[in-house]
């Protein structure tokens, strides 16, 4: 696969409320595909790789804060729909002593749910401006079914013209209409994906697979043969089967597992963007995720 330099991440950025031990809370800007964009942009500094974020926001103060956050990280903001009748989504996060997280969301009427919906200034033709497009299961789950179908069809056409698609099935059951829709949409996405970067637990949850071996067998049957299957502290499995004997060092400290998968995706995709081999990409993703989970919140400076 050829190197790529113009990357678009598509999805929802939100305001994140993080509980502090003092009882206070910190406000941050985050969201799964947005976290990946932030880490990609940080890694890309000084290179010829550019990162843009494609979403819909409101005209509210917190939406503007999100735009300013993107600009601080040198993320392109030219492809953001701005809605006068919607606001940015919101979520709160709590972590237990083991660093595992739980979420409370206020996003049912967020502007991001109107992305690519008419009337719009940011249409599906925006895909043609990029070498690689990255999105997640959350991106698809928040969109109305007709828009979701149109996006998948547009991604198929984009690939036929030489574009690359990277996809993480990042699963939030409550965002989907029902379990079967999640299965059907994910199956449709794997058919238009070049680089797959899902987590084994998400794949098992979506499809009811009993084991990692079942996940791999199903993905092989679907023709998913490039990318990485994330397995937490065990390290990623190479979906290309082109590497062997790689040792993935465990994280030395786990404070908050938020954005572990998102940061892995960034480290992995950036190495692929530079033309690095699969081993280097797998290690880069794992090492970045190990650093991120040693800190509170989704975003750290790297």
Report, as residue numbers or ranges, the catalytic residues. Answer: 262
Distance of CA 150 to the CA centre of its chain: 20
CA distances from 231 to 53, 55, 126, 135 (A): 27, 29, 33, 19
d(CA 204, CA 254): 24
d(CA 179, CA 173): 7
d(CA 262, CA 31): 9
Asked if residues 229 and 265 have their Cβ atoms less than 8 Å apart, the reply is no
List CB contacts of 146: < 8 A, sequence separation 6 or more. Answer: none
For residue 23, give the 3-state DSSP assignment.
Answer: coil
List CB contacts of 137: < 8 A, sequence separation 6 or more. Answer: 168, 169, 170, 171, 172, 182, 185, 186, 189, 202, 206
d(CA 2, CA 19): 43
CA distances from 229 to 169, 205, 226, 298 (A): 11, 14, 10, 21
């Amino acid at each position: 696969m050829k190197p790529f330099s113009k990357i678009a991440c598509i999805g929802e950025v939100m305001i994140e409320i993080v509980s502090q031990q003092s009882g206070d809370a910190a406000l941050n800007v985050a969201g799964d595909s947005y976290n990946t964009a932030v880490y990609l942009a940080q890694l890309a500094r000084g290179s010829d790789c550019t990162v843009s974020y494609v979403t819909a926001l409101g005209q509210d103060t917190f939406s503007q804060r999100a735009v300013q956050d993107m600009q601080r990280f040198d993320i392109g903001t030219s492809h953001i729909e701005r809605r006068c009748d919607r606001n940015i989504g919101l979520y709160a996060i709590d972590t237990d002593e083991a660093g595992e997280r739980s979420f409370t969301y206020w996003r049912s009427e967020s502007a991001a749910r109107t992305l690519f919906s008419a009337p719009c200034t940011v249409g599906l033709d925006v895909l043609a401006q990029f070498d690689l497009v990255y999105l997640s299961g959350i991106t698809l789950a928040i969109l109305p079914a007709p828009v979701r179908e149109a996006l998948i069809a547009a991604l198929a056409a984009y690939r036929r013209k030489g574009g690359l698609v990277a996809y993480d099935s990042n699963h939030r059951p409550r965002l989907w209409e029902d379990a079967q829709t999640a299965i059907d949409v994910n199956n449709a996405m794997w058919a238009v994906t070049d680089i797959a970067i899902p987590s084994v637990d998400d794949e098992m949850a979506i499809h009811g697979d009993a084991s990692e071996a079942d996940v791999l067998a199903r993905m092989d049957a679907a023709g998913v043969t490039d990318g990485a299957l994330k397995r937490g502290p065990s390290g990623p499995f190479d979906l290309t089967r082109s590497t062997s004997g790689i040792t993935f060092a465990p994280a030395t400290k786990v404070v908050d597992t938020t954005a572990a998968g998102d940061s892995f995706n960034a480290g992995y995709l950036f190495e692929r963007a530079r033309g690095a081999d699969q081993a280097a990409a797998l290690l880069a993703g794992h090492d970045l995720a190990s650093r991120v989970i040693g800190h509170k919140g989704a975003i750290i400076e790297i």
